[in-house]
Amino acid sequence: PDGEFQFPADNWYLIAPIGEHPHSDSGIIQVIDAAAVEAMTNSMPTNTELLVDFDHESWSKEKRTTAAGWIQNLKAAAQGLMAQIRWSKGGKEALGGGDYRYISPVWTLNNCRQIDETHIRPMVLTDAGITNRPNLRGLPALSNRDARRERVAADDPVDSFFTEVRTIQNARKVGFEAAWSSAKTEHREVYQNALRHTGYKNTAELIQPTHTWPGGHNPYLKFDSIVKHRASNDDISYDRAFEKAKLSHPNEYAQMCAEYQRDESIRASATSL
């Protein structure tokens, strides 16, 4: 029915995606990598549940400490830290009705490891809160209007390829682009299945860069429009839609990359003068 959102049957949720996440207030970069995920998973005490509140209100003495749910277990996955959550009546109603869609994990500075002046690695999960303004990029919604979409996504060839990319990225401590290139070579069949699933031919590598774009479209804005459209249709984050759009629209992505390289070249030439 309209207004009702669905939950995963096993109650497992991604709460901290792999990646580097700038903190909106301090500017500190929160590094979620395999080491962080493993440390947080292992640090959760046995026979203990961690609070999930509303908008981190339990951290303020003037606000409520009402539970939206309780984290029962943590586990490491290729995409990041997963939490199994038992929702309270109020939490389930808030999420099921669409009042809240996302979760925001909490760790304190004294439970983080300093990597350098600007980067920290969380080692202990303190608690979490449901929110509509998550601090971490790439978080999927906790509830989804279309439960069938989640079942399809589990066998989605595109998701299968992204899993291989993330696995390489985590294991080898390399960037997304490097992991992408390795996955294309090492898991070619998975990559080809993903391309066939999107209905597009892999023509990105065949494009001869030119800077006169058809119709005069700005390639940055064109690809951004594709990403936003997919994010809206699939009910996923912008970062995840961006990664999927690279496969589904390789020509537009290649054009944007070529334009970026051109702009960088122009800036470098201007700097050297």
Per-residue model confidence as pLDDT tens digits over 118-153: 899 999 999 999 999 888 877 778 876 444 344 334
Indicate whether this model's pTM tops 0.85.
Answer: no
Question: Contact at 8 Å (CB) between 20 and 113?
Answer: no
pLDDT of amino acid 145: 47
pLDDT of amino acid 122: 96
Tokens standing for 204? Answer: 């990105």
How would residue 182 be classed by pLDDT, with cut points 50, 70 and 90?
confident
Q: In terms of Cα–Cα distance, which of 66, 144, 50 is closest to 101?
A: 144
Element (H, E) at 227: helix 219-234
CA distances in angstroms from 59 to 52, 53, 67, 85, 130, listed in the order given: 12, 9, 12, 20, 13
| β-pairing verdict for 12-17 and 80-87 | antiparallel
The residue among 222 and 50 whose pLDDT is bigger is: 50
pLDDT of amino acid 170: 73
Q: Name the CA radius of gyration of the chain, rounded.
A: 21
How would residue 217 be classed by pLDDT, with cut points 50, 70 and 90?
low
pLDDT of amino acid 89: 95
Q: How far from chain centre, in Å, is Cα 265?
A: 30
How would residue 264 be classed by pLDDT, with cut points 50, 70 and 90?
low
How would residue 266 be classed by pLDDT, with cut points 50, 70 and 90?
low
C-alpha span between 7 and 143 (Å, rounded):
5
Per-residue model confidence as pLDDT tens digits over 57-93: 999 989 999 999 999 999 988 788 999 999 999 999 9
Question: Contact at 8 Å (CB) between 29 and 118?
Answer: yes
36 pLDDT above the threshold of 70: yes
The pLDDT mean for the chain works out to: 78
Q: How far from chain centre, in Å, is Cα 250?
A: 20
Q: In terms of Cα–Cα distance, which of 180, 167, 175 is closest to 244?
A: 180
pLDDT of amino acid 128: 96
29: β partners: 22, 119
Question: In the Cβ-directed half-sphere of 264, how many Cα atoms lie within 13 Å?
Answer: 6
The residue among 115 and 148 whose pLDDT is bigger is: 115
pLDDT of amino acid 269: 64
Tokens standing for 134? Answer: 């998550």
Per-residue model confidence as pLDDT tens digits over 186-211: 887 777 777 665 543 443 333 333 44
C-alpha span between 19 and 40 (Å, rounded):
15
